[in-house]
Amino acid sequence: MSKRIAGPEIERLIQLLSKVPGLGPRSARRAALHLIKKKEQLLAPLAAAMGEAVDKVRVCSTCGNVDTADPCMICTDARRDSGTIIVVEDVSDLWALERATAMNAKFHVLGGTLSPLDGIGPDQLNIKQLVTRVAEGGIREIILAVNATVEGQTTAHYLTDQLSGFDVKVTRLAHGVPVGGELDYLDDGTLAAALKSRTVF
């Protein structure tokens, strides 16, 4: 039985903080103490920001992104090419691709991958909405930016099937050597794919 060291409000704050990814029980205590010490500069603004997020954050009914507006900022951005949709598994993938700022396209978030063993079929993912977007017309290219895992590739094949009836180009991300990567540390599959898809220097 561990002794109570502070009031229940502080214990509860520590307990909830320990559930945040990146924080464990020990770092949650350190974080709670830091927040309490910086009550006015950090704890109060963070509490307000979280409260506002609870009230305002919603899932975009068009693309499945999370934002404080529906449709989201990306769907309503007129400067983006609305003829290209990048399909991702998760919002974190969307954020990663946006940070890379490689394309000025629209997005579609599936919310996961097909995984029959976990009971995740096409109806559990945001797939119907994607087909609807393509059926509405104006889409030239669908880029399947799913993870290079078995589930990701299965999902990519299923989506290709679903979109085969439409006049739309379906592409996927290139396999190859990561920029800055050393060949010696790469797996055989990646090296073979990089050789096969070699480009003119």
Residue 117 interacts with a second copy (CB under 8 A)?
Answer: no
Closest CA to 173 of 99, 72, 54, 93: 93
Q: Is 12 in the site for a second copy (CB under 8 A)?
A: yes
Smaller CB distance to a second copy: residue 97 or 194? Answer: 97
Q: Which is nearer to a second copy, 67 or 151 (CB)?
A: 67
Residue 52 interacts with a second copy (CB under 8 A): yes or no: yes
Give the strand pairing for 81-88 and 141-144. Answer: parallel
Distant-in-sequence, close-in-space partners of 128: CB < 8 Å, separation ≥ 6: 122
Q: Evaluate whether 76 touches 61 at the Cβ level (below 8 Å).
A: no
Q: Binding of a second copy at residue 195 (CB under 8 A)?
A: no
Which CB, 41 or 197, lies closer to a second copy? 41
Out of 78, 99, 136, 182, the only residue in the binding site for a second copy (CB under 8 A) is: 99
Q: How far is the CB of 164 from a second copy (least distance, A)?
A: 31
| Contact flag: residue 78 with a second copy (CB under 8 A) | no
Instruction: Summarize as ranges the residues that interact with a second copy (CB under 8 A).
Output: 2-10, 12-13, 16-17, 19-23, 27, 29-31, 33-37, 39, 42-47, 49-54, 56-57, 65-69, 72-74, 91-92, 94-95, 98-99, 101
